[in-house]
A and B are shown apart, each in its own frame.
Chain A
C-alpha cells in the first residue's frame, strides 16, 4: 500500500480537493501542528474502494467544521442554517472526491462505492489504517485516513 499510494500523495489530493472545491487557493489545508485535540462531536464521511486494492478513504471533523464546509460548498452566508441532508451531502461529496482521486492513483482498475456519512466509522473487516493525516483547515482539525484491506503486497503494510 505504501508503495502504491504514498502519504504525500494523499495529502496532495486532500489539498487539491480543498483548493479547487472549497478555498479557491492552495495553502488553507495544512498538516496539523501540535497536540491533537479530541473531536467530541465528530462527523465521519467515508467511501470504499473495491478491486485488487480494496480499502476506504475517511474524513473526520467536528460537526461545526463540517457545517462551515457545507456553507462554503453551497455558497451560503456563515450564519445561514444548513440542513442535515445538505451537511451529509457536502461532507460525503468531499470524501467521494478524495476517494475517487485516490483510486485514480492505483495501478489496477477497481470500483468506488457511494459515500456514507455518520457519527462514527463502522469497522471494515481485516482493514488496517495505512495513512493517518491530521490536517488543519483554517486552524480547525480535519483528519484524512486511508484504510486498506487487500494490499498488493502484504509486506507493504506498515
Chain B
C-alpha cells in the first residue's frame, strides 16, 4: 500500500485532501503533518512513498520543505496541493523538483489527472 504524508496547516483542508484521495480511488495509508517543519521531521523519521503538501504554511513553507528534503538527500516524490496555481509558482515548484501542482479548489478527477501518470 502506498504511504502518503499529507501536509497542510489547515486540519479542514487535510481532511478534504484525504477524502479526495479516497474519492479518486487511492486507498492509501495516510499520515498528516501540520506544517513543513513537522513534515520534514516525519520524512526523516519514516520516509513515505509520496508527500502532498500545501505551499503557504507557518514555520516552514511547502517550497522550503521540498528544498530541505532535496538538500538532505531525500528524493521522495513530492506534489503541491495549494490555493495558488500561477505559472511562476508552477515553474518554481518544478524547478525545485515537484512532480505536480494541484490548485485548490480541486476535484477527484484533478487528483487522478496528475497522480495517475506519476504512479505509472
Asked whether A90 is an interface residue with its Cβ less than 8 Å from the other chain, the reply is yes
Asked whether B53 is an interface residue with its Cβ less than 8 Å from the other chain, the reply is no
A17–B105 alpha-carbon span in the complex (Å) = 6
Q: What is the number of contacts between chain A and chain B, taking CB atoms within 8 Å? A: 66
Q: 1/0 per residue B84-105: CB within 8 Å of A?
A: 1110100000000000000111
Query: In the complex, which residues of chain A have a beta carbon less than 8 angstroms from the beta carbon of B19?
Result: 75
Q: 1/0 per residue A69-100: CB within 8 Å of B?
A: 01001110000000001100110110011011
Query: In the complex, which residues of chain A have a beta carbon less than 8 angstroms from the beta carbon of B28?
Result: none
Q: 1/0 per residue B1-45: CB within 8 Å of A?
A: 000000001111101100100000000000000000000000000
Residues A112 and B105 in contact, CB atoms below 8 Å apart: no
Given contacts A100-B104, A101-B83, A114-B58, contact A21 B16 (CB under 8 A): yes
Closest CB-CB distance, B119 to chain A, in whole Å?
23
Residues B105 and A96 in contact, CB atoms below 8 Å apart: no
Majority SS at the chain A contact face: helix
Partner of B12, one of A17, A90, A106, A109: A90
A85–B107 alpha-carbon span in the complex (Å) = 25
Number of interface residues, chain A, beta carbon within 8 A: 26
Closest 8 CB pairs of A and B: A100-B83, A20-B105, A100-B84, A97-B83, A93-B10, A97-B104, A89-B12, A104-B86
What are 14 A-B contacts with C-beta separation under 8 Å? A20-B106, A85-B11, A86-B12, A89-B12, A92-B10, A93-B12, A97-B105, A100-B56, A100-B84, A101-B84, A101-B85, A112-B83, A114-B9, A114-B58
**What is the interface of chain A, defined by CB distance below 8 A to chain B?**
16-17, 19-21, 70, 73-75, 85-86, 89-90, 92-93, 96-97, 99-101, 103-104, 106, 109, 112, 114
**What is the interface of chain B, defined by CB distance below 8 A to chain A?**
9-13, 15-16, 19, 56-58, 82-86, 88, 103-107
